[in-house]
Amino acid sequence: MKRVSLTQYLVEEQRLHQNIPAELRLLIEVVARACKTISHAVGKGALGDVMGSADTENIQGEVQKKLDIISNEILLEANEWGGHLAAMASEEMETVHQIPNRYPRGEYMLVFDPLDGSSNIDVNVSIGTIFSVLKAPEGMKEPSEAAFLQPGRQQVAAGYAIYGPQTVFVLTTGHGVNCFTLDRELGAWVLTHRNMRIPESTKEYAINASNARHWHAPVQRYVNEMLAGKTGPRGKDFNTRWIASMVADVHRIMSRGGIFMYPADMRDTSMPGKLRLMYEANPMAFIVEQAGGAATDGRQRIMDIQPHKLHQRVPVFLGSKEEVELVTSYHLQADAAG
């Protein structure tokens, strides 16, 4: 079978839909190349100086792993020189990263979670990179934080790489979702899954159940009904999966369906869930919707949320449409009942 490379795919998409101009193509290729470099670092494991903690904290008060910092550096360096970006923002950096003056600036803004699933690095379980592409406001040369605060529906591209048994790169530019597998011998991304679709219904769900006692009533209700199995209101048995790497959980859902949840809970009302809107929820919501799934915060579509902070957190319910609609309806019913 003739192989289609990432470059060929991007060129042909542009011919078909005029949605990947040369600068955006460069951006996507550069991000994919950076993911290849990260994949290489990840693969070194204990043979490279990449495992363990860096003994520093990020802006969100989380202890950074060495690989969080290495991956962040790889993405910054790869994307600075190309002239395609106006600025970048990352989970691991407090403020917006401007393009150094020695390089030209472009019209796009790149947002990323350089290393998702950090707790899995040292135990050799799948981790990944998540990214989202926005357009800088017209004529803005040095975008401030405010320029990044655009609702997810304005993303022009989003994707993730997963460093697992296989390294894959999953991408949407608004016309479906495609998946590329890294040919490790050639160092090339090869199109392997065209137009990925999430099955509408499912029997698998992902949630960190150790937080069950803190969940709000609609989440308790939804999960309890699944736990009741065949003889419960859902009339079927369900299965739990929780990898603790959002990329890996989402990739499973992209491949065979399911629902992924990281709700807000009753512990700290100032912290609405754990996941970040700009780096995790929005790009994954875009991908999931483009694959026929749905993504809400329990009440509204994630991509319609107007961000008010770069590092904002948000509750996340995403995956197979029927399930996301059901758990969302439980929240809305509870709200209506007061």
The stretch among 2-10, 112-120, 317-325, 326-334 that binds Mn ion (CB under 5 A) is: 112-120
Among the listed residues 113, 204, 249, 289, the single contact to Mn ion using CB under 5 A: 113
Count of CA atoms in the C-beta half-sphere (13 A) of 167:
22
The stretch among 71-79, 107-115, 201-209, 290-298 that binds Mn ion (CB under 5 A) is: 107-115
Count of CA atoms in the C-beta half-sphere (13 A) of 220:
9
Out of Mn ion, ligand AHG, none, what residue 208 binds, judged by CB under 5 to 8 A for its kind, is: ligand AHG
Out of ligand AHG, Mn ion, none, what residue 332 binds, judged by CB under 5 to 8 A for its kind, is: none
Distance CA 198, CA 281 (A): 17
Contact 296, 302 (CB under 8 A): yes
Nearer to ligand AHG, 118 or 172 (CB): 118
Out of ligand AHG, Mn ion, none, what residue 245 binds, judged by CB under 5 to 8 A for its kind, is: ligand AHG
- Residue number with the smallest Cβ distance to Mn ion: 116
Residues in contact with ligand AHG by the rule CB under 6 A: 62, 91, 113, 116-119, 208, 244-246, 262, 274
Count interface residues toward Mn ion (CB under 5 A).
Answer: 4
- Nearest-approach distance from CB 201 to ligand AHG, in angstroms: 23
Distance of CA 284 to the CA centre of its chain: 4
Distance CA 199, CA 158 (A): 21
- Nearest-approach distance from CB 118 to Mn ion, in angstroms: 5
Residues 6+ apart with CB under 8 A from 320: 198, 199, 200, 201, 202, 253, 257, 258, 259, 293, 294
| Under rule CB under 5 A, residue 116 binds Mn ion | yes
What crossing angle do the helices spanning 22-44 and 66-80 adopt, rounded to 10°? 150
- Nearest-approach distance from CB 314 to ligand AHG, in angstroms: 13
Buried b (16+ CB within 10 A) or exposed e, 19-46: ebeeebbbbbbbbbbbbbebbbbbeeee
Residue type, 226: M
Q: Which residues within the stretch 292-321 sit at the binding site for Mn ion (CB under 5 A)?
A: none
Q: 195 in the Ramachandran plot: left (φ > 0), alpha (ψ -120 to 50) or beta?
A: left
Nearest to 295 by CA among 309, 311, 284: 284
Nearer to Mn ion, 106 or 159 (CB): 159
Contact 322, 204 (CB under 8 A): no
The stretch among 111-119, 168-176, 181-189, 315-323 that binds Mn ion (CB under 5 A) is: 111-119
Query: In DSSP terms, which residues pair with 167 in a beta bridge?
Result: 163
| Under rule CB under 5 A, residue 249 binds Mn ion | no
Distance of CA 316 to the CA centre of its chain: 11
Nearer to Mn ion, 20 or 133 (CB): 133
What crossing angle do the helices spanning 282-290 and 246-256 adopt, rounded to 10°? 10
Nearer to ligand AHG, 97 or 105 (CB): 97
The stretch among 20-28, 84-92, 190-198, 260-268 that binds Mn ion (CB under 5 A) is: 84-92
Nearer to ligand AHG, 65 or 331 (CB): 65
Nearer to ligand AHG, 27 or 246 (CB): 246
The stretch among 41-49, 106-114, 264-272, 302-310 that binds Mn ion (CB under 5 A) is: 106-114
- Nearest-approach distance from CB 7 to ligand AHG, in angstroms: 29
- Name the residues that contact Mn ion, by CB under 5 A: 91, 113, 115-116
